[in-house]
Amino acid sequence: MATGDKLRIAVQGNGEVSALLVRPPTARWLLVLGHGAGAGMAHPFLEKLAAELANAGVATLRYQFPYMEERRRVPDRPDVLTSTVAAAVRLASEAAPELPLLAGGKSMGGRMTSQAAAGNLLGSVKGLVFFGFPLHPPNRPSTKRAEHLANVGVPMLFLQGTRDTLADLTLLRPICAQLGTHATLHIIPEADHSFHVLKKAGKTDAEVMTELAQTTAAWANKLEN
């Protein structure tokens, strides 16, 4: 059983935020994991995901963005969000210097991580993992949020559901194709943005969570350390 260590991250000009390091004895990677816009690092989805990732040999460092730490409803400016991602990555490298790093997150946490990577703010991170990349606002298809992805210099894993109203797959598929070998798209049939699946999917939400973790670990293990 992996245990969590409570940590603090200093974000320049924005005080400190909470973080939680879950490191199983079998860890081969450490994933710096950002939360979505409406829920913090203790959301049940991220709790379950961190547990499944631990079972798959991936340690996680979850962290709060300043607005969530301060219990504000409106997310911080993009520059504050990306600087928080960068600070979390620096802490991760210090907390477990022997583990290669991945970074990413759920929805907004993943998108802000990709923007930080495009701005060369993430140091030695080996790859990015997106658990539901929010390509556009709900039911408003657009590709503007993907324009920076061409500037990301490391491999990216997109984990997406077919019922995700924040990522029209008819738009996301060609974007990933244009990114070439830098992008891997793993689709989960009947899953929505929260990775809840309909009964006709033939699997449970818990099984989907296991699939997310195992897919992440398998993809990471193919990367060059």
Question: Which residues, including other chains, have CB under 8 Å from residue 215's CB and lie 6 or more apart?
Answer: 157, 159, 186
Based on the number of CB atoms within 10 Å of its own CB, is 215 exposed (0-12), middle (13-18) or buried (19 or more)?
Answer: middle
50 lies in a domain? yes
Assigned domain for 213 exists:
yes
120 falls within a domain: yes
What CATH number should be reported for the domain holding residue 107? 3.40.50.1820
What does the alpha-carbon distance between residue 79 and residue 71 come to, in Å, rounded to a whole number? Answer: 19
Structural domain for 27, as ranges: 4-220
Measured distance CA(45)–CA(225) in Å, rounded: 28
The 10s digit of each residue's pLDDT in 198-220 is 988 899 999 999 999 999 999 99
Q: Give tens-digit pLDDT for 92-141.
A: 999 999 999 999 999 999 999 999 999 999 999 999 999 999 999 998 99
DSSP strand E in the chain: where?
4-10, 16-22, 29-34, 58-63, 101-106, 127-131, 156-161, 183-188
**Does residue 225 fall inside a structural domain?**
no
**Which residue has tokens 């989805």?**
45
Q: Per the structure, how many domains does the chain have?
A: 1
pLDDT per residue over 26-78, tens digit each? 999 999 999 999 999 999 999 999 999 999 999 999 999 999 999 999 999 99
SS3 string of 35-81?
CCCCCCCCCHHHHHHHHHHHHCCEEEEEECCHHHHCCCCCCCCHHHH
What number is the average pLDDT over the span 7-36? 95
pLDDT of residue 224: 67
- Number of Cβ within a 10 Å radius of residue 106: 28
List the beta bridge partners of residue 131: 106, 159
